[in-house]
Amino acid sequence: MLVVGLALLAGVVVVAWRRVLVKVGPDRALVRTGRGGACCFLDGTAVVLPLVHNHLWISLQPVSLTVGRRGDDALFSRDCVRLDARVEFVFQVPANRAAVLAAACCLGPRGMAAGALAELLQDKLECCVRSAAAQQYAHVLLAAPAELARAAAAELGEEDRSWLALRGAQALHLDLPAADTLPPEPINRKTLEIIATREREGNLRLPPNADSDGATSPDGRCRP
């Protein structure tokens, strides 16, 4: 009986110990709070005691966020030309303790949710893409779509990068909108004229910083 009792006790101890041990894989980090303060585990095994500790996971995998604008909601270039665009940004929480703890403060229990970063950054990314397009002429952006992604990435600034690293940005699509997606309003006049010219000639000719009537705008502002 004594042997059986010891065996049962040993089994209970093993099961209980395994329940409080949490393994940390290479694609996520564990943040433990409670007794002993906030601790970050990037690998190995962590002890999480019920009623003593809380814990949450932070994904270390790259996350892709896309900004897409088209038709009547397309971007405006500096010379008032609408452009359809899709720009992809790739972010990742760096695998260091300071970044993971900061990410836990910003994301909370949604640290593993794919949509958490989108909710946090989507509006800002859209503003950055719009601002980047508005600072450059359409013929430059159409000739070098990567310039839009580079400029949008520069617009992000450094405030988010204390815990979130930008791994890359690329323009997946950049072109003039289809004519039937734009209402014939004064603000769309120049874009529609360029589209018509493109369809007639089979190519695109955009004079640098020129209005639709051929006059040059020295400040690059839109003049419907």
DSSP 88-121: EEEEE--SSHHHHHHHHHHHGGGTT-HHHHHHHH
User: Of 83 and 19, which is predicted with more confidence?
Assistant: 83
Same domain, 81 and 166: yes
Q: Answer yes or no: is 223 within a domain.
A: no
Q: What tokens does 99 get?
A: 């970044």
Q: Where are the beta strands (DSSP E) in 62-164?
A: 63-69, 75-76, 82-92
Average pLDDT, the chain: 81
CA distances from 20 to 16, 54, 125, 167 (A): 7, 12, 40, 35
Same domain, 183 and 132: yes
- Per-residue pLDDT of 37-80, as tens digits, reads 888 998 888 878 787 888 899 999 999 999 999 988 899 999 99
Q: Answer yes or no: is 90 within a domain.
A: yes
Same domain, 15 and 108: no
What percent of the chain has pLDDT above 70?
79
User: What pLDDT, on a 0 to 100 scale, did the predictor assign at position 8?
Assistant: 56
Q: Buried (b) or exposed (e) across 10-41, using 16+ Cβ within 10 A?
A: eeeeeeeeeeeebebeeebbbbbeeeeeebbb
CATH number at residue 95: 3.30.479.30
pLDDT band at 1 (very low <50, low <70, confident <90, very high): low
User: What pLDDT, on a 0 to 100 scale, did the predictor assign at position 128?
Assistant: 94
Same domain, 38 and 146: no
Same domain, 126 and 55: no
Same domain, 69 and 45: no
pLDDT band at 221 (very low <50, low <70, confident <90, very high): very low
- Per-residue pLDDT of 147-166, as tens digits, reads 999 999 998 876 556 788 99
Same domain, 27 and 81: no
Report residue 185: phi and psi, to 5°: -100, 160
Same domain, 103 and 14: no
Q: Is the pTM of this model over 0.85?
A: no
Same domain, 47 and 72: no
Domain count, the chain: 2
Report residue 51: phi and psi, to 5°: 70, -5
Q: Which domain holds residue 42?
A: 2-59
Same domain, 142 and 162: yes
Same domain, 50 and 158: no
DSSP code, position 78: T
Q: With 60 as the cut, is the pLDDT of residue 144 above it?
A: yes
User: What pLDDT, on a 0 to 100 scale, did the predictor assign at position 217?
Assistant: 41
Q: Answer yes or no: is 221 within a domain.
A: no
Same domain, 138 and 126: yes
